[in-house]
Structures are given as C-alpha cells and as structure tokens.
Amino acid sequence: MKYLSVLLVTIIFASSYSGAQSINENNSTKISLGENGTISNDGITETTEIIYTEAFDHSIFNKLLQKFVSDNGNVNYKGLKGEHKTLLSYIDLLKTNQPNEDWSNNDKLAYWINAYNALTIDLILKNYPTKSIKDIKDPWDQRLWKFGTTWQNLNDIEHKILRGMHEPRIHFAIVCASISCPKLQNTAFTASELDTQLTNATKEFLADTTKNELSEEQIKISRIFKWFKKDFETNGSLIDFLNQYSDVKISNSAKKSFKDYNWNLNK
C-alpha cells in the first residue's frame, strides 16, 4: 500500500454560484472552479474533487472501537473477546503491510498509534479476565507480534518508533489499558485527520480533572508528564506545552505535583 492522490473532474450544473466552496467529506476536498480556474458565473461550474487515500486502511479497527469503546473511553473487553478474531485479522494486516519510504509522516504515525492500541487490546484479551495490565507478566516487553522479520513489543513501538518521531501528543493517543491513561478514542487515527485528532486527544486529557488539575498558580498533573518530561520540552518548557492545549493559563511559577496513577483496567 502507498500514499495516493486521486484527481477527479466532473461537470455540475448550478442555478447560481457566488464564491469558491470547500467541502470536507470522507477525507475528500471539493473545490468549485470555472473553466479558467476561477469562479464561474454562468450557472455551470467545474468541480474538482481531490480525494486523499490513506496509505493503510484502519476501518476494521475503527468499527471495533466504535462498537466496544464508549465516548468516555471505557472498553467492553468482554464484548471484544467475542470478536477477538476480527481484531487479529486487523493485526495481521498491520504485520504484513508495514510503513515504507513512500508513506507520509502522518500515515506512519497513524499506523503505529493504532498498532500500539490494537496490540495492547490483544494483550488484554489474551489474558482476560484481568484486573490490571500490570497483573500480566512483562506486559510491555512480551514479543508476541511478528512484523515482517521483527518481533515487536509495546515498549519498542512506543520508545523506539513513536517517540523517535518527535510528536509529544502521541502520549495522549496511545493507551495502556488503565484508568489513569488517556482515554482510548472510539475512532481509529487516520493520516488525513491526524493533527486534529491528536490536538483533541491532548485537550481532552488536560481537561479531565480526574487526571489533571490545572489552575494559574498550581498544577497537579499526570505522571505521564514526569515520565516523558523531555518529550514535552523540545520547544519550550512543560508549562509552555500545557498552555498550548489548556483552557487555563498557567503561570511559569506555578507549583507542580503529580497525581497517583491508577493501573486498574479501563473498563
């Protein structure tokens, strides 16, 4: 699979047209133009539809997430257990269609974020029922999935692949199946929507007072910001990062502490 841009030109009839129009629908953009590339006023316009085709189809995973993950990020693992084979079919596609040099950076990020989340769910289902991912022996170091010639584990995907792509917002997209983790989104990440999805996930996490308590002069924040401190300071201080995505403007002199981490299953 590889990144493609498909260009379709169609003629449509309109009673009137007063300006250019852009419509985003199903990862496509439609721009109405006249014959010379400008707006047509004669009731006839040419519509150029540019369709972005993802390098990898995450629709199988997306359907599972929509079916078994609530808007709050609670996961119905019992229900997912009944469709474990469907999840495994998606993982098989991941294993046999890895990113290559033709893929965009966003395609690669979306691929590995979804892979991390799918493999984490797979790990839980292999050991279900369990109260916590930490009840599983070496959960992040088990090499259970062979991608090409490489046996992957969750630690390598997170620390060697995703963190190496220098996008700190991935920490609010990948989920370790625990209550104190960022919530598992109930839609799969896609290259065409990635920036919006990562921003929304970051804002949601910061706004969740069970995980972060923010005020101008004092912050009590997730231990994620302690464990991965360097990732959030590549373009300024941690406070600078928080202020990009928080509704609360935090003072540079704010007192900082970290919340306890609840490793119980996110169900």
- Judge if 181 and 243 occupy the same domain: yes
- Judge if 125 and 175 occupy the same domain: yes
267 domain residue, yes or no: no
Mean pLDDT of the chain: 87
What domain range is 43 assigned to?
4-53
- Judge if 29 and 153 occupy the same domain: no
81: Cα separation from own chain's centroid: 23
- Judge if 35 and 91 occupy the same domain: no
The pLDDT value recorded for residue 49 is 57
Helix then strand then coil, in percent of the chain rounded to 5, is: 40, 20, 40
- Per-residue pLDDT tens for 57-81? 999 999 999 999 999 999 999 999 9
Q: How much is the average pLDDT of 43-54? A: 62
**How many Cβ atoms are within 10 Å of 198's Cβ, its own excluded?**
23
- Per-residue pLDDT tens for 150-160? 999 999 999 99
264 domain residue, yes or no: no
- Judge if 43 and 63 occupy the same domain: no
The pLDDT value recorded for residue 51 is 65
Q: How many domains does the chain have?
A: 2
What is the C-alpha separation between 232 and 247, in angstroms, rounded? 18
The pLDDT value recorded for residue 53 is 84
126 domain residue, yes or no: yes
- Judge if 25 and 139 occupy the same domain: no
Whether the predicted pLDDT of 45 surpasses 90: no
